[in-house]
Structure 1
Amino acid sequence: MATLNPLLDPASQSSASIILPPVAAEPPAEQPNVLFAVLRRWPWLVLGLAVGCVLGLLFHMQRTPVYQSTAELMVVKSRPDMVAGGAGDARVQYLEDYIGPQVILLGSEAILKVAAERRLDEQKPFQNPPPDGVAERVAYMKARFAVARVKEAGSNTPSNVLQLSFKSLHPADAPKYLRAIIAAYKDELTGVYEDASVRQLKLLDEQIARLKRGLNDTRVQLDEAERKLRGVIDPATGAVLVPGISQETPERVQQRISDNRSAQNARELEKIVIENRLKQIRDAGKTRAERLATMAKLGIANDRPFLFGDVKDPESMLAHLKYKKGELGTRLGPGHPEMAALNSQIKVLEEEVAARGGPAEDELERYRRKLETELGAISAQLDILARRIDADEETARNMAPVQQAIRNNEEKLKQTAAELQAAEKEKDRVSGSRSAGAYEVRDVTKPADGGQVAPVLLQSLMLGAVLGLLLGGGLALRAELVDRGFRSPEDVRRRLGLPILAHVPVIRANQPNEVTPAAAVDPTLVVWLRPKTAEAEAVRGLRTQLLFSVANRNHQVIQVTSPMSGDGKSTTAANLAIALARADKRVVLVDCDFRKPRVHKLFGLEKPATGLASVVADRADLGDAIRACEVENLSLLPCGPIPANPAELLTSPRFQDVLSDLRASYDFVLLDTPPVLAVSDPAAVAPRADGVIIVFRMTPAAGPNTERAKEELVAVSAHLLGVVVNASSEQHANYGYGYTYKYDYQYSDSYTDQKK
């Protein structure tokens, strides 16, 4: 249906400015999840794993092979000592464990030195000759020789069989080193063992003597510290012979200080309350009424009857007569006989009160004396508490170093006693082993050519895989940190400080149309051609957000732009114009892209001879340039012939006049302008619009491009309404933007469809 041109029949309506919705304060930046960021870049992990495995394989191939030869020896004690024991009639014999010292002896430097000096040369030739010096040979063998006890079959009990192993760079050299070590062990077993035992016993005796001296010295220091702290007390009478710092524990002294401070704080508070009450009493007036008011504030009971008190009291009688005089004075006059009698009575009572020494003490005065008495008692208590606290603090300060010395000595005493017990136990063990008798060494298995034990291919690959994963993880993390693209809707709002007006899914142009227009319109106009699709619903959501942003006011000029070309701003503007027109809004879509105009192509119009450029250049009338559209309430103002000076036309006063005419004639004027970062035209148009909508696609460069576009628009004081995420889909998860656009509701032509 053709749309009437509002310029030919303008409606007299006043324009209204846009009311922008309040934008919430920018939330704090979210802390990135490192693990999630690395996993999101999983191709880097796969690449790092592959590279690491290749490097591990190369490393494995470059390493020098290591060969190991093994042999087993059975050590038997010729005359084992038997210890009888048991319960009842049973006799149980315990065999002494003599293999432990042999393991130590076999791996000692003494055996290795004998092998290096006497036995190693007998095994020549070597494929890799041993070092020349004895010390170097001992160090070489010590680094490659190992001995362990073999466990009995079927249990974890160690046996008397020793397993010897030696690693070498050649398979034929490893058994030669083992044979030299075994020969040295057999030759020197008894002598070396006895010499080692004697030396070890001598060292243990010296250590035990030193520990005993240290134990005695620590006990003396501990007793001295105890005497300094507690003093000397006669055990028989309990009398203190030599006074110490205190008989109490530091905890008790600290507790008493804490209790006294609590009592001191309580007395201070009571003192403040009493002084405040005394100040109120001193500030009270002289009259009975004022003092009664002060008594009421302080909660003091009035012990006199109401109004005049006890009439037998001269003060109460005097107050009664004065009250009566004031009551009769206005009615009888000062010269009346009754007034004269009252004056005479008042004079007599005043003389009697004066003779008594003035007015009697009232309740407030008695309460003041009571408070002053309490205040004096509290001050005395505070002095006593302060002296006690000072004395206890002085005691605590004196006790602290002595108590620390006691703790240190007690700890040192325990440690020295434990060391002494261990040394005595070791001495008993060495002494028992020394008298055990002779040993016999038997070959269980003899040394053979070594087998390769290193490098292990699996270990090299695992090492390379771990390093590769670390490398891939680092590269993935760096890629994540370098990526400035948007990661979530919250990220868009936080970085731009603007609301998201809509997420428009990818428009599927190959879908069948629900409406057949007369003109060959572009298939991306989904609001017109396929109004029941999710894409059309997203545009209608954008329309709702726009109406909310402008507070549902008409005569608004809205600019639609984008950071870069290809973001879909022309398609979004056209669909938004159709959606507004379907909402009974008179809309005109103005093509302000003087460089690549598309509005006429979208709506299937022939290339117009006149358009906005012609109107601004004063070569055509505005009414002649506006084109009708099949969509009701929608008019089009195409670009027309492409001008040579687009920026100058958009900044001219004539362009502002054209916008004013359109604003007065339409409810909404939508301006399709070029990309902000491509040319300067959008920045020239933005200050003339009531609001600006930024449309962008979710690409890796969308983040920085949109931020730059916003900065340029803000620099020209543009009113930014929000952004539209165009062509959002599942594939944007690769950019870290995990938004998925789905609708749970579908259109239905009949009630029966809902049962399916």
Structure 2
Amino acid sequence: MWRGRWIMLICLVLALAGGFAYIETATPIYTSTAKLYLDYGGIPVVQTQESARIPRTDRYLYTQAELLVSQRILGAVFELPEIRRLRTFANVTIPMAYLRKNIHVEVGRRDEIVSISFSSPHATEVPQIVNDIVEAYLASRSDSQQRNSAQVMKMLQEEMARASDELNGKRDELAEFESTSMPLSLGSDQGSGVAQLYLSLQMEYTQAQLRASDAELFYRSAQMLAKDPETLRQYARTRSQVAAYAGGGSEIAPLEAQLIAGQSDLDALLAELTPDHPRIALLTAQLERIRTTIDELNGRFVRVLLAAAERQYIEAKDREEELAGLYHEQRQQVAELNSELNRYRRLITEVSDLEAHCQTVRTQIREVRTIVGEDVGQLRMKILEPAMVAQLPSHPQKSKIMAMAMILGLLAGGALSVLRDFMDQTLRSGDEIAAVLGVPVLGVVPAMSQRETVPSRGRKVHLQPDAPEAEAFRTVRTAIFFGAPKEARTILVTSPAAGDGKSTLVSNLAIAMAQAGQKTILLDADFRKPMQHVIFEVEHDQGGLSAVLTGQMKLAEAIQRTDTDGLSLLPCGPAVSNPSEILNSPRFTRLLTCLAEAYDRVIIDAPPVTVVADAQILGATCDITMLVLRAGKSTKKIGQRAIDDLQRVGARLLGTVVNDVARSGDRYGYYGTYGRSNGSGRSGSKAVKNRQVPSDGSGPKSAVAITSKGDR
């Protein structure tokens, strides 16, 4: 929206201008309003028990609002001669329809006031029309809509007779109930006794259920332990009554003691005598008799105990069933008692309400008798405020229209700005490029003045080292130093399309690297539209890269010096008809290898990657590749296409450089503060044109190294 602020401003101005024009050209409309008040002329008609003391008037008011604009009322208004002569209806084909359409009746939401409004361009005629409608409405109220005192008195007497009959009937019903069912009423001794007996039976029945459950558990357990008399005897000791009834097994204990003692004597004799000795045989026979006796006693104990447990369980179950019947019978009596108590309370309440209602009706009858000759109970409409001549027009409302125009202008401008931004795929900042394209941003170069010449912009680092643009190029150089591999010597610089500023970046980057102490050569491989010879102001028609690759000139003769120490230039050379084939030849590959051996950095200016295939060929050969994008010109689509084209051939993309970024916010203003104040490195002299490397060996290292390798 900030980028589209001018669109928003234009829309706002147009909307305000349109609102102002509408206000100036619109016909002023005047509105007059009369107010009617709903008045209670006496007391309200007797109400039912469910209704409120004040009768509801909302339906009545809405009904009267419809009557105000009914055909009968408006027809009576148009019968007046002065209404027919009004200018408001002069050019109206159907006056009745026009009046009905423009009359507005509103019912108050929190009061009993009805407002009647009418609008017309003629301010003096509007209140006359409204007041005539109100007078016609008040005059048309029918006598049948009003209730006189006799009618009200008759209604009150009828209501009194009905209420008295109903009260007498309820009193008789209450008296009969008290005479027949009074012992069961709340607070009687019989009622309290029934409730207490019910609670007692409930407690006793619960205890009987517990006893029956416990007896059943003991009986089932005794059955399971019948085969183990000793365990059963120990378990039976927990039930003292059953154990005592079964004998408890007291005579078994002495026999078991004798059995244990005899067994000990038998073991002692067996140690001294043979098994067939008479004493041993006698003792063995005695022990067998004791065991037999114990078994008989155990069997009798088990039988007696099981019989006792079963009898106890049956008795407990019978008691439970007996108490269950008594409990359910008593609960039924309690339920009947509660029903009678509820009926008794209800009768008392009804008698009390009817007595209060009869008293209210008597009071209203006395009030009616005090009123003589007045209508009672009617809803009367009174004129609260008559319609007056409006001093100011009600339409158009200047402030409201201008506010709406401002809001609509802002909304339209915002919508157009968002739509424009949504449809605009242009990349505008480094953060946006990094987020959208997913590649790192090596640096951001601010926009340069278009009044500067191409050589001035292309050698900004050399000519104006303190400028913010020069500092931006040195930032890119630093990013390459720390981001590229140490063995990377050949650097390809390309862009998605022409005019992105890659040639300016290449020349300034080469100068910055040379100033950093690295021997650098700038190779102009853009055979389509070469620019480096223009930037460095050298001749390239007599020789250059194309002449070297075609064998017309030796490399040492084609390399030219620049006015920057440590920087050499290999211009493009004469135009060729097959640039892609030349760049894709083994001869160019060997040339690039030799330059990488002779120089620390070989920077190559390549054509746009999406226009021709030259940049892809060079990207597959060079160590690293840099992509130059121009803020406000390069789009997401063409940027992604350029990256895909480079990655498709295996180019090692180091990152992107954002060129021509707007200086809004003075993002780069601080660079000048920390620049070189002594002017070191600034050269005011122009570069020597057509400066070539001497062939006697005094030239740069690259010329010596390359010329020593035969035909290369």
Q: TM-score range by the shorter chain?
A: 0.5 to 0.7
Change (3 A) 1:526 1:189: same
Once the two structures are superposed, residues 103-139 of structure 1 have per-residue CA deviations (whole angstroms, 9 ceiling, x without a partner) of 94994445665962873243244353999999x89x9
- Structure 1 position 505, deviation (Å): 2.6
Distance in 2 separating the partners of 1:190 and 1:530: 104
Provide closer, same or farther for how the CA distance between residues 43 and 646 of structure 1 changes in structure 2, counting only shifts above 3 A: same
Distance 1:181 1:686 in 2: 92
CA distance in 2: counterparts of 1:434 and 1:39, whole angstroms: 72
The equivalent of 2:105 in structure 1 is: 145
Instruction: Render the CA deviation track for 1:639-687: whole Å, top value 9, x for unaligned.
Output: 2222222222112221111111112222211111122233332122111
Change (3 A) 1:473 1:234: farther
The offset of 1:713, in angstroms, is 1.6
Match of 2:408 in 1: 467
Distance 1:614 1:106 in 2: 103
Larger-Rg structure: 2
Residues 484-533 of structure 1 show CA distances to partners (whole Å, capped at 9, x for unaligned) of 12243221112222111112234569899xxxxxxx97564133233333
The question of 1:45 aligning with 2:8 is answered: yes
Match status 1:721 vs 2:654: yes
Q: How much has 1:690 moved relative to structure 2?
A: 0.8
2: CA distance between counterparts of 1:559 and 1:440? 95
Kept in 2, the 8 Å contact 1:683–1:712? The answer is yes
Deviation at 1:239, TM superposition (A): 4.5
Amino acid at match of 2:416: L
1:546 matched to 2:503: no
Amino acid at match of 2:483: S
Contact 2:631 2:661 in 1 (8 A): yes
- Partner residue, 1:695: 628
Aligned residue in 2 for 1:666 = 599
| Correspondence for 1:237 | 196
- Structure-2 residue corresponding to 1:184: 137
State the alpha-carbon separation in 1 of the partners of residues 437 and 383 from structure 2. 85
User: How is 1:85-96 mapped onto 2 (pairs within 5 angstroms)?
Assistant: none
CA 1:728–1:434 in structure 2 vs 1: closer, same or farther (change >3 Å)?
A: same
Matched residue SS, 2:603: strand
Task: Count residues in correspondence.
Answer: 463
1:584 corresponds to 2:539? no
Distance 1:603 1:142 in 2: 82
Higher RCO (Cα < 8 Å, 6 or more apart): 1
Tell me the CA shift for residue 101 of structure 1.
9.6
Residues 531-587 of structure 1: CA deviation (Å, up to 9, x unaligned): 333322222221221122233x25611111122223222222122222222233222
Q: Which residue of 2 aligns with 1:498?
A: 439
TM-score, normalized by length of structure 1? 0.51
Can you list the C-alpha shifts for 1:179-213, whole angstroms capped at 9, x where unaligned?
A: 24224315638753439x98xx99xx9xxx9xxxx
| Distance in 2 (alpha carbons) for counterparts of 1:105 and 1:579 | 88
Question: 2:588 aligns to what SS in structure 1?
Answer: helix
The residue correspondences of 1:211-222 to structure 2 (distance < 5 A) are: none
User: Of residues 739, 747, 752 in structure 1, which corresponds to 2:676?
Assistant: 747
Residues in 2 aligned to 1:242 and 1:140: alpha-carbon distance in whole angstroms: 82
Give the secondary-structure state (helix, strand or coil) at the position aligned to 1:504: strand
Instruction: Decide whether the 8 Å contact of 1:174 with 1:450 is kept in 2.
Output: no
Give the whole-Å Cα distance in 2 for the aligned partners of 1:509 and 1:700.
Answer: 16
CA offsets, 1:216-259, max 9 Å, x none? xxxxxxxxxxxxxxxxx99933958999xxxxxxxxxxxxxxxx
Conserved in 2, the CA contact under 8 Å of 1:554 and 1:668?
no
Q: Secondary structure at the match of 1:40?
A: coil
Change (3 A) 1:177 1:115: farther
Give me the whole-angstrom Cα distance separating, in 2, the residues matched to 1:693 and 1:580. 15
Of 79, 85, 100, the residue aligned with 1:122 is 79
Partner of 1:535: 469
Q: Call closer, same or farther: CA 1:120–1:131 in 2, change over 3 Å.
A: farther
User: Is the CA contact 2:127–2:387 (under 8 Å) kept in the aligned structure 1?
Assistant: no
1:107 and 1:486 map into 2 onto residues whose CA distance is 68
Q: 1:118 to 1:193 in 2, by over 3 A?
A: farther
Q: 1:510 to 1:460 in 2, by over 3 A?
A: closer
Match of 2:421 in 1: 480
Change (3 A) 1:75 1:666: closer
| CA distance, structure 2, for counterparts of residue 115 and residue 571 of structure 1 | 89
Q: Is contact 1:588-1:636 (8 Å) kept?
A: yes
Q: 2 CA distance for matches of 1:613 and 1:437?
A: 113
Q: Name structure 1 gaps, 5 residues minimum.
A: 1-37, 82-95, 150-156, 210-232, 244-419, 513-519, 751-756
| 1:693 maps to amino acid | M
Change (3 A) 1:145 1:705: same
Equivalent runs, 1:599-614 vs 2, <5 Å: 599-607=532-540, 609-614=542-547
Query: Which protein has the bigger helix share?
Result: 2
Following superposition of structure 1 onto structure 2, how do residues 359-378 of structure 1 map, counting pairs within 5 Å? none
CA distance 1:71–1:729, change in 2 (3 Å): closer
1-structure distance, mates of 2:620, 2:43: 108
- Contact preservation (8 Å) 1:112, 1:142: no
1: CA distance between counterparts of 2:129 and 2:201? 77
- Check 1:142–1:106 CA distance in 2 against 1; reply closer, same or farther (3 A cut): farther
Equivalent of 1:657 in 584, 590, 600 = 590
Structure 2 alignment gaps of length 5 or more: 45-52, 164-191, 203-352, 369-373, 680-712
Aligned-pair distance for 1:722? 0.8
Aligned 1:250-329 pairs, distance under 5 A:
none
Q: Do the aligned residues in 1 keep the contact of 2:42 with 2:375 (CA within 8 Å)? A: no
Within the alignment, does 1:575 sit opposite 2:534 as a pair? no
State the SS of the aligned residue for 1:237. Answer: helix
| Counterpart code for 2:129 | K
Q: Percent identity?
A: 28
Question: SS at 2:658's partner residue?
Answer: strand
Using structure 2 for the length normalisation, give the TM-score: 0.54
- Closer, same or farther in 2 for the Cα pair 1:169/1:107, shift >3 Å? farther
Find the counterpart in structure 2 of residue 308 from structure 1. none
- Cα 1:448–1:119 shift into 2, 3 Å: farther
Deviation at 1:590, TM superposition (A): 0.9
How large is the RMSD of aligned CA atoms in angstroms? 5.2
Q: 1:389-538 to 2 correspondence within 5 Å?
A: 435=376, 452-507=393-448, 522=456, 524-538=458-472
Deviation at 1:597, TM superposition (A): 2.2
Amino acid at match of 2:100: Y
